[in-house]
Chain A
Amino acid sequence: MPTLTPVLRGCARTLAALGACVTLGSAAHAHNVWMMPSSTVLSSPQWITVDAAVSNDLFYFNHFPLALDNLVVVAPDGQQAEAQNLHRGKLRSVFDLNLDKPGTWRMTVINRGLVASYMLNGERKRWRGKADQLSQIPAEATQVSITESFGRIETFATVGKPSALKASGEGLELLADTHPNDLFSGEQAVFRLAIDGKPAAGVEVTVVPGGTRYRNGLNDQTMKTDQDGRFSVTWPSAGLYWIEAGAEDARTTVPQAGKRRLGYTATVEVLPQ
């Protein structure tokens, strides 16, 4: 089992937003990333639309759109489906999806990349890119530190009866016990986090209810996953919720990278009783 180090929440946000061309700075400048589906519980096959944005306020578009280049949609039967009418605007991206089969649909943006810092002529420099661009780091650079990042941003929608979520086996991801489209106000949900398909213990999780504009406090809940990667959350009210988790390990896929930062964010909908 790799050693996991819980990472600052800000770092998780930074790397999750890498696909959105957010400049790499200190953790304090990172922004929340999220997708927002028009519906999550449907009683017949139909279209939904999903917004995607980089914005701290949940769930308001006031910063950047989320790039959808790495969007993957998986239908209930495990096949990939194609998003339609993709559009990237000033503050949000959007796509339509035809949920034409019963079961649970999963929409995920996966952003992989590398970040590096090094010293050159007495100055600290930063670099961001893909594995095949590593040669961009000058040969005379010293104290080169390369970190691999794997960020996953996702949401779920179910037509009819919820179907089981299959682990992708890659990076940090959320799985049932409680199905993410079976959430009700006042009830406790139990989720599991996995890293590369294995239970992720000791991972810090943050849960924030939407509607931040209309209240004074953030009202966030924070918790850590247990030995089996489980964490639980009791929903204080109905609405959309943002779930975020971050972790760090040494299981890099790029040999030059010394460590790997994993990020996960999901948007779920909690219905009233």
Chain B
Amino acid sequence: MKLHYRFAVAPLTALIGVPALAAELGLTIEVPRLDVAEYHRPYVAIWIEREDRSVAANLNVWYDLKLKNAEGEKWLKDMRMWWRRSGRELTMPIDGVSAPTRPPGRHRLGFSDTGAALQSLAPGAYRLMVEAAREVGGRELLELPFQWPPTAETRVEARGKTELGVVEATLKP
């Protein structure tokens, strides 16, 4: 005897009420401890580039945003790759992107695909870009290639030599 099911079977997850897991991009960015006479926290820009070098999203820009008369913006151009590819088109500060400078140490940032930065990221190959520029110091740019959305948990790492320490990106599907 055959049973005919005439009603649609709802997805099991919806019946139980468990939400679909969001894809995540976790970052750890190390600002190196430097032994210099005059130390200033670096300006750091973190953004995502497509393969053609166009900017898909700005994640964070760390700069002196608390200075009077927006004086901190004077040095944004020292992050010269970011400035050219995106920064110069923007009006700062930007909610969720502009942030104060950070001291030496490892700093964690997390972005989910439901957030403003990643929700419109189309599937494809990307580069996570991290550029640091330090007053009375140098400038360094790191690139971490990744695929989006991640199909498995992935770790990508890059090591700076001068103005950045270890930069690690962890992608979770």
Which A positions have Cβ atoms within 8 angstroms of B? 41-44, 46, 160-162, 182, 184, 271-273
Contacts and interface: CB of A to CB of B under 8 A. Distances in A.
12 contacts: A41-B77, A41-B83, A42-B77, A43-B74, A43-B75, A43-B77, A43-B83, A43-B88, A44-B70, A161-B89, A184-B84, A272-B80
Contacts of A273: 81
A182 B84 CA distance: 8
> For chain A, what secondary structure do more than half of its interface residues adopt (helix, strand, loop), or is it mixed?
loop
Query: Which of B70, B71, B80 has the largest count of A CB atoms less than 10 A from its CB?
Result: B80
A271 B88 contact: no
Interface of B: 70-71, 73-77, 80-81, 83-84, 87-89
B73 to A, nearest CB: 4
Contacts of B73: 43-44
A162 B83 CA distance: 12
Nearest to B141: A273
Q: Which of A43, A160, A182: most chain B CB closer than 10 A? A: A43
B45 to A, nearest CB: 12
A44 B88 contact: no
A44 B80 CA distance: 14
Given A43-B75, A43-B76, A43-B88, 5 more contacts: A41-B80, A44-B74, A44-B76, A184-B84, A273-B81
A48 to B, nearest CB: 12
A271 B80 contact: yes
A44 B71 CA distance: 8
A182 B87 CA distance: 13
Contacts of A46: 74
A162 B88 CA distance: 8
A123 B88 CA distance: 61
A161 B70 contact: no
A161 B70 CA distance: 17
B129 to A, nearest CB: 13
Among B76, B81, B88, the one with the most A-chain Cβ atoms within 10 Å of its Cβ is B88
A170 B77 CA distance: 34
Contacts of A41: 77, 80, 83
A239 to B, nearest CB: 14
A161 B88 contact: yes
Given A41-B83, A43-B83, A271-B80, A160 B88 contact: yes
A35 to B, nearest CB: 21
Nearest to A44: B73
A42 B75 CA distance: 8
Contacts of A271: 80
A108 B135 CA distance: 33
A273 B81 CA distance: 7
Contacts of A161: 88-89
A43 B79 CA distance: 10
A42 B81 CA distance: 14
Contacts of A42: 74, 77
Nearest to A182: B84
A182 B115 CA distance: 32
Most B CB contacts (10 A, CB to CB) among A46, A160, A272 go to A160
Contacts of B74: 42-44, 46
Nearest to B81: A273
Nearest to B75: A43
